[in-house]
A and B are shown apart, each in its own frame.
Chain A
Amino acid sequence: MSSSTVLRELQRDFEAKSNDLSKLQKDISKNHQVRKKYTIQLGENELVLKELDILNEDANVYKLIGPVLVKQDLAEANANVRKRIEYISAELKRLDGNLQDLEEKQNSKKEAIFKLQERIQSLQAGKAKA
């Protein structure tokens, strides 16, 4: 019966779309987590910058690289921290854009799935009547 094959096709389509949707949702949650991490790092870096500004010129600054504490120049440390802050903010912006895209895709997928569901239901109702 052509109606039952159509129904099966619709249902396969429905499953495929719902898989896509779940993938999208996982992507969105990953995005959220990475964003959180970056936000925390950004906060920390800003704190460091504040402290470095308070330091005297001749104070010793060290950077922990692996197991080694390396002496750093204050000016160098300042510059490094500022660059890091810029990098993190850029990353955050990029992630925000990503998130927007993903959310839009998710919404459109949801609508498509909904329509599919309606079609399937109407077909099933029609079949039951016949």
Chain B
Amino acid sequence: MGESAKKGAGTVTSLAEMFPAEDAQKAVKRVQEKLAEIQNELHRVRGFISDNSNLINLVQKLPEQLHHNIIVPFGKAAFFPGRLIHTNEIMVLLGEGYYAERTSKQTVEILKRRGKVLESQVESLKAIMRDLKAETSFFDSTASEAAEGLLEITEDYVEENSTERESESGPPKEDAPNFSEAEKAKVSVEDEEYARIMSKLDELEKEELEAECGNETVEENEQVAVDDEEYARLMSRLDELEKEELEAEDEKIKDDFNKLPDQKSLDTNLRHSEGYQSRELLEQMKDKKSATEEFLSKCDPQKDLTNQLNCMGLAVQSVPEDEKSHGKSLLHNVIKSSPPEKALMLPEVKENVQPAPLSRSSS
């Protein structure tokens, strides 16, 4: 616990520094212009293809008659009736001013070959368009992320066994300077981190489930230790985020402590419970004692006094609600709950407030 001062080295860079928002948007515009050009080209080539197919039809119809009676255009504004003779003899432009006399069947073959060339051009244009579209979407996402003030936090992964747990609690201290960053940045970071962490925790749960089924407790602990390297990291991230929320919320709680409107306490409980849903599930699946013990031994106790209390309090509350894992459903149950449960919650809130100043004063 004294070794918690050992920090994991890492860097925090704002995404806006790496990819300035304006530049990203300019890049998006450029790529979109190129895309428009290519689309015009595609349009033209498709026009050629349709002309080609029309011509093929016409040329196939010509030799059906020896002579065709037609109205011939004469100059700009006149026509006269005429006859189309030698219907099977067609002068085909091969290119570069070269003409060849061919029958209609041979002409059709030439036209079909030309059609194939045009089709291959269309395919290549489409491929180029696809690439450009991928580029635009990438630039768009970076531009929007940079605008939101998303932070890129890179941490070194220290490959040690026991001291690793302590080093993982180092990163939360790095976040202290970021407290001064815009609220918006934090919120977006937290939300995305939450989603990511939740998915990772789900994977870890599955792994541990499998581990639990097959092994003895000894092996389980070992495997759990291996899995828990990542788990600890994720948990510590969760802790940081929730600590931030907690500290923000504790202000409110302190103010309203005297009034203690049930709604507020419910809200705070709800937020904590949302964060702790996954932990609850894990605890229910694992051996409860071993889980909490390991948890305590891994993490910084001063920080986790609150977490611990909440876990225990909420675990008691949620045991009956085993199946429903959504925070909202928990809220409903809480609202409908009988007074004794509410009484249970209020002391929790008190416990929340007290350890928080404790942790702050000692931190």
Q: Residues of A with Cβ closer than 8 Å to B?
A: 41, 44-45, 47-48, 51-52, 55, 59-65, 69, 72, 77, 81, 84
Beta-carbon contact of A41 and B96 below 8 Å = yes
Expressed in whole angstroms, the Cα–Cα distance for A3 and B96 within the complex equals: 64
* Chain B interface size range: 10 to 19
Partner of B94, one of A47, A60, A65, A84: A47
Decide: B99 and A45 in contact? CB cutoff 8 A.
Answer: no
* Chain A CB within 10 A, most for which of B95, B97, B113: B95
Which residues of chain B in 83-119 are interfacial with respect to chain A, using CB atoms and an 8 Å cutoff?
91, 94-102, 110, 113-114, 117
Instruction: Please name 6 pairs of A and B residues whose Cβ atoms are closer than 8 Å in the assembled complex, sorted by A.
Output: A41-B96, A44-B96, A51-B100, A52-B100, A61-B99, A61-B101
| A42: min CB distance to chain B, Å | 10
Q: How far is the CA of A40 from the CA of B336 in the complex (A)?
A: 78
Q: A41-B96, A59-B102, A62-B101 are in contact. List 14 more A-B contacts (CB 8 A).
A: A44-B96, A45-B95, A47-B114, A48-B94, A48-B96, A48-B98, A51-B110, A51-B113, A52-B98, A59-B100, A59-B101, A61-B100, A63-B97, A69-B91
Chain B proximity of A76: nearest CB distance (Å): 11
Complex Cα–Cα for A20 and B55 (A) = 52
Q: How far is the CA of A49 from the CA of B91 in the complex (A)?
A: 17
Contact check: which of B91, B94, B97, B101 meets A51 at CB < 8 Å?
A: B94
The answer to whether residues A60 and B101 also contact, given A51-B110, A84-B96 and a CB cut-off of 8 A, is: yes
For the complex formed, measure the closest distance between the CB of A40 and the CB atoms of chain B, giving whole angstroms: 11
If A47-B117, A51-B110 touch, whether A64 touches B94 (CB-CB below 8 Å) is no
Chain A neighbourhood of B117, CB < 8 A: 47
Report whether A65 and B100 are in contact in the complex, using a CB–CB cutoff of 8 Å.
Answer: no
Chain B residue at minimal CB-CB distance from A69: B99
Cα of A59 to Cα of B101 in the assembled complex, Å: 7
Residues of A within 8 A of B114 (CB): 47
